[in-house]
Chains A and B, each alone.
Chain A
Amino acid sequence: MKLITAIIKPFKLDDVREALSEIGVQGITVTEVKGFGRQKGHTELYRGAEYVVDFLPKVKVEVAVTEELTDQAIEAISKAANTGKIGDGKIFVFNLEQVVRIRTGETGADAV
Chain B
Amino acid sequence: MPAPNVDRALVEHVAKLACLSLSDSEVDRFASELGRIVGYIEQLDSLDTRDVPPTANVSVDRAPGRRDEVAPGLTRDEALAQAPEVESDGFAVPAFVE
User: Do they bind each other?
Assistant: no
